[in-house]
């Protein structure tokens, strides 16, 4: 069997959820969209089901997978419904819907429903992606409130730059939120992971942690609270071949690495088709049998190469960690022209092995 796999530490996931919930100071929806950022939405939701206040996913398709797996807690659709025909299904499966655009308000006005649908009305407080404009927000809330079959429950918004801790934009978005929602009833939900960790003034009734649940810091630099997170995924494989090369020899496609001295090169059974970044730089950290090592040469589809020169004990069968318990994913990101979000979501083909 190919030795590549992703170990998923469910105890770490629960630890990170508890930290997120405590920082938020209220309730927290665990964001498990995109198959829980590559960690497997069903198993992650099952691991959190007893303590999570609920879950958030992108769309009804993702929510139904969770319901079919027996998840009973509230589930919020972050993009809401895409067409009126989904509305009966939302009620049938007890799903909550974000309403982010005037056309969705209109659909609700002309679609009677047998029971009230719980709705989170989203404000565009400055990200300019989804959300009702600040000047129209209160009117949209009142229109939903007037419908017997709709229950507007939560005033929500989303930050564009909360991961930039010295950026004034987050405070501006908070001010816009306060102004646009003033005087309206209902609870509030604003915080994603970087806001939970970095902007305590943004706390509300419902937090929406995603990335931090998986134990990866949203910040480019070190951060005391983010340091309390525990990595959930450990991506690993093994050395399947070893080359002893003299100085001046190229390794792999495009000769992206040329040996400067006699070098032992280990070939590891894991490549970009498994989700490892194709353009990770020479020197990107790995751990070889638990000790720090480095990537050399361009990553191939099914394999990558590491420098074993300082690892005389290592050879065929040695375990190589690409990121996880020993190699912070953020360090791989920093050398790979990608983001932590995309790094995790890209993981595929490798079996997910659950622990805890
Ligand atoms: C994905 C998403 C989140 C979670 O964001 P993280 O940065 O991963 O914590 C929260 N809210 C909304 C609306 C989202 O789309």
238 is known as an active-site residue: no
pLDDT tens-place string over residues 50-59 = 999 999 999 9
pLDDT tens-place string over residues 68-98 = 999 999 999 999 999 999 999 999 999 999 9
Rg (alpha carbons) of the chain, rounded to whole number? 23
pLDDT tens-place string over residues 331-345 = 999 999 999 999 999
Over the chain, what is the mean pLDDT?
A: 97
Ligand 1 touching residue 77 (CB < 6 A) = no
Nearest ligand 1 atom to the CA of 33 is 1
Q: Give, in words, the CATH class of 10-213.
A: alpha beta
pLDDT of residue 220: 85
Residue that has been written with the tokens 């305590």 in this structure: 200
- Please count the other Cβ atoms lying within 10 Å of the Cβ belonging to residue 115: 12
pLDDT at 126 over 90: yes
Ligand 1 touching residue 44 (CB < 6 A) = no
pLDDT of residue 314: 98
Q: How far apart are CA 79 and CA 101, in angstroms?
A: 10
CATH homologous superfamily for the domain 233-355: Lyase, Ornithine Decarboxylase; Chain A, domain 1 (2.40.37.10)
pLDDT of residue 223: 95
pLDDT at 143 over 90: yes
pLDDT tens-place string over residues 284-303 = 999 999 999 999 999 999 99
Ligand 1 touching residue 192 (CB < 6 A) = yes
Q: How far apart are CA 351 and CA 300, in angstroms?
A: 19
Q: How far apart are CA 98 and CA 52, in angstroms?
A: 19
33 is known as an active-site residue: yes
- The domains of the chain are located at 10-213, 233-355
Total-model pTM: 0.97
pLDDT tens-place string over residues 233-290 = 999 999 999 999 999 999 999 999 999 999 999 999 999 999 999 999 999 999 999 9
Please tell me which residue in 17, 33, 155, 238 is annotated as part of the active site. 33
Distance set, CA 283 to CA 221, 287, 292, 304 (Å): 19, 12, 11, 12
């Amino acid at each position: 069997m190919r030795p590549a796999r992703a170990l998923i530490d469910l105890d770490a996931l629960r630890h990170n959820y508890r930290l997120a919930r405590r920082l938020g100071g209220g309730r927290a929806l665990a964001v498990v969209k995109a198959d829980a950022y590559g960690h497997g939405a069903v198993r992650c939701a099952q691991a959190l089901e007893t303590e999570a206040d609920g879950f958030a996913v992108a769309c009804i398709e993702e929510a139904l997978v969770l319901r079919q797996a027996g998840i009973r807690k509230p589930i919020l659709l972050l993009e809401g419904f895409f067409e009126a025909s989904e509305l009966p299904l939302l009620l049938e499966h007890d799903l909550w819907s974000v309403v982010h655009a005037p056309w969705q308000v209109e659909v609700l006005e002309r679609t009677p429903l047998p029971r009230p649908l719980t709705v989170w009305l989203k404000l565009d407080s400055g990200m300019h992606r989804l959300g009702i404009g600040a000047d129209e927000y209160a009117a949209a809330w009142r229109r939903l409130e007037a419908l017997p079959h709709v229950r507007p429950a939560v005033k929500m918004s989303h930050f564009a730059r909360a991961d930039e801790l010295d950026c004034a934009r987050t405070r501006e978005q908070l001010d816009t939120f306060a102004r646009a929602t003033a005087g309206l009833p209902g609870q509030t939900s604003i915080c994603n992971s970087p806001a939970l960790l970095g902007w305590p003034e943004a706390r509300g009734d419902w937090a929406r942690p995603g990335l931090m649940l998986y134990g990866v810091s949203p910040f480019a630099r070190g951060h005391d609270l983010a340091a309390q997170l525990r990595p959930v995924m450990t991506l690993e494989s093994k050395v399947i071949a070893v080359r002893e090369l003299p100085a001046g020899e190229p390794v792999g496609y495009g000769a992206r690495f040329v040996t400067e001295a006699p070098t032992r090169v280990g070939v590891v059974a894991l490549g970009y088709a498994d989700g490892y970044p194709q353009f990770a730089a020479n020197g990107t950290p790995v751990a070889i049998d638990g000790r720090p090592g480095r990537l050399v040469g361009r990553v191939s589809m099914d394999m990558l190469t590491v420098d074993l020169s300082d690892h005389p004990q290592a050879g065929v069968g040695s375990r190589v960690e690409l990121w996880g318990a020993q190699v912070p994913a953020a360090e791989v990101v920093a050398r790979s022209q990608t983001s932590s979000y995309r790094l995790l979501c890209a993981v595929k083909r490798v079996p997910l092995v659950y622990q805890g």
